[in-house]
Structure 1
Amino acid sequence: MIRDHLVAHEWQNAQQETLGTVTLVYNHHIRQLSEKLVELQHHYYHSILAATHVHLDHNLCAEVILIRAPAMQIQQLADHLRQQKGVLHATLSISSTGVHLA
């Protein structure tokens, strides 16, 4: 619980390098949505550590994106991804690089 408070404090400093995970559920049949999501990820290529794509069924996909960047940049990317037409759900999970937790 104390570490959760420390992580939240790190995220209050918009320039503090942090770790975040964006989870998306989206309909891949929406015109050009997959291309837009990839384009956004390429724009943040320097911050994205990994991305995993899963086919949930014939229409739906899930994507989990691990990002290491200043808190403000992670929030911006999450917001841009969330705003795309066809994204049914998007969530941002905040964490820490661990530097200030030891």
Structure 2
Amino acid sequence: MQRVTITIDEELMSALDQYMETGGHQNRSEAVRDLVRAGLLKRPEADDSARHCVAALVYVYDHETRQLSKRLMNDHHSHADMSIATLHVHMDEATCLEVSLLKGQKSDVEHFAGHVIGERGVRYGQLVVLPSDVDQRDALPHDHHPAGRHAHSSN
């Protein structure tokens, strides 16, 4: 490990300490490493668009918008190769929340997410993309692995 010295103002240090405590980190170094990893995942890479990824598309929509539920369902069906699973929650009488887990080439996933988020009646949408160099065995759900075993990488 490398030792790095940084200067942080009091307000930011207070926020870091709160992040450390609520996140269950043992010390500030762990908390900073966690934040740096998260920040690096958000940084676009030059050849990033062809990279395989997994992603969570989170969006809130008005299910009373004319034909929106049907259009969203058709969008998902026409991209079935990209879809892992979708969670649908009724937030109130007119509002639904969906979380769709996706996999595929990053540019394709982003294009699909942009289309869904851009649908008339979708009030909020966000895509969280994680790079993935997943082989077929790791792409299977947990219960499809022999004896329920699966690999996790630790960074």
Shorter chain as denominator, the TM-score bin is 0.7 to 0.9
SS in 2 for 1:30: coil
Aligned to 2:128: 93
Q: Is contact 1:37–1:81 with CA below 8 Å preserved after alignment? A: yes
- Say whether the 8 Å CA contact 2:54–2:131 is kept in structure 1: yes
Distance 1:9 1:78 in 2: 17
Structure 1 stretches of 4+ with a deviation exceeding 3 A read: 6-12, 98-102
Q: Deviations over 1:33-70 (max 9, x none)?
A: 00000111111100110001000000000000000111
Which residues of structure 1 form unaligned runs of 5+?
none
- Distance in structure 2 (CA, Å) of the matches to 1:47 and 1:3: 24
Task: Pick from 45, 65, 68 the counterpart of residue 30 of structure 1.
Answer: 65
Conservation of the 8 A alpha-carbon contact between 1:10 and 1:18? no
Root mean square deviation of aligned Cα: 2.4
Cα gap change, 1:29/1:3 in structure 2, threshold over 3 Å: closer, same or farther? closer
1:14 alignment partner in structure 2: 49
Return the alpha-carbon distance in structure 2 between the equivalents of residues 44 and 19 of structure 1.
14
Q: How many residues are aligned here?
A: 102
Instruction: Report the Cα distance in structure 2 between the residues aligned to 1:66 and 1:91, rounded to whole angstroms.
Output: 12
| Equivalence map 1:1-102=2 (5 Å) | 1-2=36-37, 4-5=39-40, 8=43, 12-97=47-132
Compare CA radii of gyration and give the structure with the larger one. Answer: 2
Q: Give 1:16 shift.
A: 0.8
More displaced, 34-43 or 8-17?
8-17
TM-score (norm 2): 0.59
Q: Which amino acid aligns with 1:23?
A: V
Structure 2 counterpart of 1:68, which letter?
K
Name the structure where helix makes up a greater proportion of residues. Answer: 2
Letter in 1 for 2:58: T
Calculate percent identity across the aligned residue pairs: 25
SS in 2 for 1:36: helix
